[in-house]
Amino acid sequence: MPTGRADHNLIKRLNSALILNNLLSVSPQSRANLAERTGLNRSTVSSLVSDLIDQALVREVGLAGASERGRPGMMLELNPTGGCIVGVEINVGYATVLVTDFTARTLWRQHIEVDEDIPQDEFLALVEDLIAAGLQAGTANGLKPLGIGLGLPGLIDTENKRLVFAPNLGWRDVSFCDRWEQRFRVPLYVENDGNASALGEYYFGVAKGHEDFLFIATGTGLSAGMMLNNHLYRGAGGYAGEIGHIIVESGGDLCNCGRRGCWETLVSPPAIMRGILHALNSGAPSIIPDLVGDNLDRLNMRVVVEAADQGDQLALDTLLDTALNLGVGIANLVNIFNPAMIVLGGTLISAGDYLLPTISNIITAEALSAPAGMVALALSSQGTDSCVKGAVALVIDGIVREPVFT
């Protein structure tokens, strides 16, 4: 049974989390305003704020303007100098390390590209050198390290901070807890790329303020980060959101997971490229070979979009097919989750202008009208940095949900 003291600490942590979360979404605010928005009484807010100021997580920024009712109050905001955060993305062929202050403003950034078949230990050693340099850059600014967030494509055991399996990296069973917590001695948070990206959009992006939304990550495959009732939904083992492997075509194309007819075999960028190469081999007329100087190894989403911009029928038809297949799957997700927003992120955002109108029409036509009428469709606002910004958000999320008083 918890002791009274433990109960008191838990309540204090939860209430402090309420205040930090509020300041993260609306800033600056007065103590009176915070009391109104959180439902806590004024003396509780004052006492918690005073502790948060002592922890350097919150700071005062002058008196309220004329718009505040009654006596002007001292305004509060999150303190950028509360500490530094290191966000890390490891993905196929590249890694990005970002160092930010407590309000997620970028202080330092490094991006490396590596051969796709680089040995795991060699790749991790490069990333670890970058983290060490990033931590040094953060602390050189006088900021104490608050944590490291890591986003990577694959199945993650978040509790034990362990990568279980990343098929596209070819990695199995990597314990980041052992490798990084012991070496860097700061709290570590590990998530898959879809979940990390969803959190980034929730705190800093287009989904800010939305309690229920889905982030659809498109890259080598297709996965979803699901923010439900203000929490990432991870499932019993942390493996939820593998929407790319919903079977949509019995006996269809072979998927990387070993099954046939998975949704991602129809709509992922590699599937789009396969479709175009197949059509070109069958003699379909297109300007795509000209755009890549007859070297089809250079075919990528940018080329497909450029061809579509120039009216190329093969590119336009391919993007339309992709949008139709994405739309049907998304309409099903709308029926299941009733999200307020669907955010499309990753490689396909460059084709967003071609995809979104059709996806929107399919949702209207195929999903039940009540949830279809409520859902907004948006492109990720973080571009290619959505995962690494999300990794920063993992650390902020950990702190604002469970502030620890020392």
Binding site for Zn ion (CB under 5 A): 245, 255, 257, 259, 262
Where are any strands of DSSP class E within 183-292? 188-192, 213-218, 222-228, 231-232
Nearer to Zn ion, 259 or 274 (CB): 259
Nearer to Zn ion, 259 or 302 (CB): 259
The answer to whether residues 169 and 152 touch, using CB atoms and an 8 Å cutoff, is yes
Q: Half-sphere exposure of residue 25, counting CA atoms within 13 Å on the CB side?
A: 19
CB-CB neighbours of 202 under 10 Å: 26
CB of 266 to Zn ion, least distance (A): 11
Q: What are phi and psi of 306, to 5 degrees?
A: -60, -40
Nearer to Zn ion, 255 or 393 (CB): 255
CB of 197 to Zn ion, least distance (A): 20
Nearer to Zn ion, 109 or 260 (CB): 260
The answer to whether residues 202 and 25 touch, using CB atoms and an 8 Å cutoff, is no
CB of 262 to Zn ion, least distance (A): 3
| Pair of tokens at residue 223 | 């996965």
Distance of CA 79 to the CA centre of its chain: 23
Helix, strand, coil content of the chain in percent (nearest 5): 50, 25, 30
Which residue, chain included where needed, has tokens 């795991």? 120
Mapping DSSP onto H, E and C, the string for 217-231 reads EECCCEEEEEEECCE
What type of residue sits at position 140? A
Largest CA-CA distance found in the chain, in angstroms, rounded: 76
CB of 167 to Zn ion, least distance (A): 9
CB of 249 to Zn ion, least distance (A): 11
| Pair of tokens at residue 142 | 């006088």
CB of 350 to Zn ion, least distance (A): 24
CB of 259 to Zn ion, least distance (A): 5
CA distances from 80 to 58, 382, 390 (A): 8, 20, 18
Distance of CA 164 to the CA centre of its chain: 19
Nearer to Zn ion, 98 or 156 (CB): 156
Nearer to Zn ion, 262 or 299 (CB): 262
The angle formed by the CA atoms of residues 369, 374 and 377, to the nearest 5 degrees, is 110
Nearer to Zn ion, 92 or 177 (CB): 92
CB of 270 to Zn ion, least distance (A): 12
| Pair of tokens at residue 124 | 């991790």
Q: How far apart are CA 300 and CA 347, in angstroms?
A: 10
CB of 219 to Zn ion, least distance (A): 14
Q: Helix and strand tally (H, E) in the chain?
A: 15, 16
What type of residue sits at position 148? I
Nearer to Zn ion, 190 or 262 (CB): 262
CB of 246 to Zn ion, least distance (A): 9
| Pair of tokens at residue 241 | 């959101």
Q: How far apart are CA 89 and CA 37, in angstroms?
A: 35
Nearer to Zn ion, 188 or 222 (CB): 222
CB of 188 to Zn ion, least distance (A): 29
Nearer to Zn ion, 257 or 374 (CB): 257
Q: How far apart are CA 225 and CA 209, in angstroms?
A: 16
Q: How far apart are CA 313 and CA 319, in angstroms?
A: 10
Nearer to Zn ion, 4 or 251 (CB): 251
